[in-house]
Amino acid sequence: MNTIAKVRSGGNPRQAQAGEKLRAPDAGDGEPAAAVTEGDLAELTPTQARRVRMLLGGASRGDVARAEGRSTGSVTKTIADAARRLPRLPAAIAAARAAATGGPPPADPLTAPCRFSEEGWAGLVGDYIGELAVTCCRAYVIRARRTLGRFLAQAALGHPSQLTAAVVSGHLAGLRAAGRAASTIGNELTLVSGFCGFLVGRGFLEANPCRQVRRPKAAETLPAYLSEREIRQVLAIARRGGFGPEVALALATGLRVGELAALRWGDVDAGRRVLRVRKSKSRRPRVVPLSAAALAALRAQRRVSGELAHVFPARHTYKGGAMLVDRPRSQTVWGDLLKPLQAAIPAFRQKRPHAPGNGWHLFRSTLASRLVQAGVSIYKVAGILGHRDVNMTARKYAALAIGYDQAIELAGLDAAGGGGRKRRAS
């Protein structure tokens, strides 16, 4: 029995003698398309050698992925890595697959095994999203999956190596032509750049092409925040609507809506008056101090959630009633909570109703604005908000720290607009 037959019948190909050739089936002209020896396979890692043997036996990448419980993208990367050591390997795999399916070998067998189908892209995106979910909140992960799906569908790339700076720039130009804001385009670039960095780590790209793409510059404006009167109005509406703890905690901590949804009671340390954010947009955990208002909101919510693990559990409605379910609420539910506020307060009507993060972000910017105006250090505010770069916090909120300074009187201008006697600064 030859080695290929052993693979197909479940035999152990490692029993083949060193130097025995693993030949792909004939391409149709009576000559083998390529040959790989056991000595060649000894140069590969055990995983690469195992998968290559299955592929030389006529299995597809999907067959190998299903057999090992991995993604197609993982198998494709294995082929690409092995082909760097054995340049003739892709031709052998292509011919073996062509013979197994009864079709002709690909016109370009060297690159055909690495040509990506929708299944291959889905596997890569799935692997990336899986890594992202370890450190990022659920809302950000969902957004990343949708963004990458849309980007890859429009780009229609045949292989990750075709993902260039020109492709990314073209995608961003389309967003700009569609009237998207510069901040939205910048966020899209950040998400695509993260995926490209993942591809670099997997060996599909030599460098991140997004680093060659210029980030659109958004117009710098003062942040929107709620006035004292609006805060009282918001809290009153929320209490009447039954979502007072959610709003009060958002105002007191500045948590993003995804962080609120993922919050568990195990993350709250009332004794030390802090809570831990384990997954965030910045992919960094942080500790947020709890004010008296935040502790009061948590005590009120504890009476609602009881012994469930999630601070804000989902609600399951059924015929004749409803019950709390120990899982995060959906983004739709969080967005629906804002509707009474949008109906009553103009600041919320300016936010897109289908993007709940925008409306809830108003509570976050309100906390940051009030802290800066109260003289709290920008560094402390950046830590509370979880900004990766303190410059981001400074660009957005530092202007609010400027108030009246007696030094302005040194200009020596009187109330009538004339010039008074100038005093020298001490």
Evaluate whether 90 touches 24 at the Cβ level (below 8 Å).
no
| pLDDT classification of 311: cutoffs 50, 70, 90 | very high
Confidence check: pLDDT of 398 > 90: no
pLDDT given for residue 30 in this prediction:
43
Q: What is the pLDDT of residues 313-360, one digit of tens each?
A: 998 888 878 889 999 888 888 888 988 998 888 888 765 544 544 688
Confidence check: pLDDT of 248 > 90: yes
| Residue 23 main-chain phi, psi, to 5 deg | -100, 135
Q: What is the pLDDT of residues 140-171, one digit of tens each?
A: 888 888 889 889 888 888 788 889 999 999 99
| pLDDT classification of 419: cutoffs 50, 70, 90 | low
The one-letter code for the residue type at 316 is: H
pLDDT given for residue 59 in this prediction:
81
Confidence check: pLDDT of 210 > 50: yes
pLDDT given for residue 232 in this prediction:
94
If you average pLDDT over every residue of the chain, what do you get?
79
pLDDT given for residue 54 in this prediction:
85
pLDDT given for residue 241 in this prediction:
92
Of 374 and 351, the structure prediction assigns the larger pLDDT to 374
Least confident window among 118-132, 166-180, 202-216: 118-132
Q: Is the dihedral of CA 390, 394, 400, 406 positive or negative?
A: positive
Confidence check: pLDDT of 422 > 60: no
Confidence check: pLDDT of 13 > 60: no
pLDDT given for residue 271 in this prediction:
93
Provide the CATH number for the domain formed by 120-212 in this structure. Answer: 1.10.150
Torsion, CA 233, CA 239, CA 245, CA 248, rounded to 10: 10
Of 89 and 363, the structure prediction assigns the larger pLDDT to 363
**Domain map (residue ranges) of the chain:** 3-112, 120-212, 228-401
- Distance, in Å, from the CA atom of 285 to the CA atom of 267, rounded to the nearest integer, reads 11
Q: Which residues contact 227 (CB under 8 A, 6 or more apart)?
A: none
The angle subtended at Cα 54 by Cα 53 and Cα 57, nearest 5°, is 90
Confidence check: pLDDT of 25 > 70: no
pLDDT given for residue 19 in this prediction:
36
Percent of the chain with pLDDT over 90: 26
pTM metric for this prediction: 0.57
- Distance, in Å, from the CA atom of 268 to the CA atom of 253, rounded to the nearest integer, reads 12
Confidence check: pLDDT of 178 > 80: yes
Q: What is the pLDDT of residues 72-109, one digit of tens each?
A: 767 777 777 787 777 777 777 777 777 776 655 544 43
The 10 Å Cβ neighbour count of residue 151 is 21
Q: Which residues contact 346 (CB under 8 A, 6 or more apart)?
A: none
Confidence check: pLDDT of 301 > 90: yes
Instruction: For residue 3, give the 3-state DSSP assignment.
Output: helix
> Among 174, 176, 132, 128, which residue's Cα sits nearest to residue 150?
174
**Strand residue runs (E) in 220-332:** 268-269, 274-277, 286-289, 313-318, 321-328
pLDDT given for residue 117 in this prediction:
59
The one-letter code for the residue type at 245 is: P
pLDDT given for residue 119 in this prediction:
66
Torsion, CA 281, CA 283, CA 289, CA 290, rounded to 10: 50
- Average of pLDDT values for 27-54? 71
The one-letter code for the residue type at 192 is: V
Least confident window among 83-92, 102-111, 197-206, 230-239: 102-111
DSSP state string for 168-209: HHHHHHHHHHTT--HHHHHHHHHHHHHHHHHHHHHTS-SS-G
Confidence check: pLDDT of 287 > 70: yes
Provide the CATH number for the domain formed by 228-401 in this structure. Answer: 1.10.443.10
Confidence check: pLDDT of 236 > 70: yes
- Average of pLDDT values for 403-414? 70
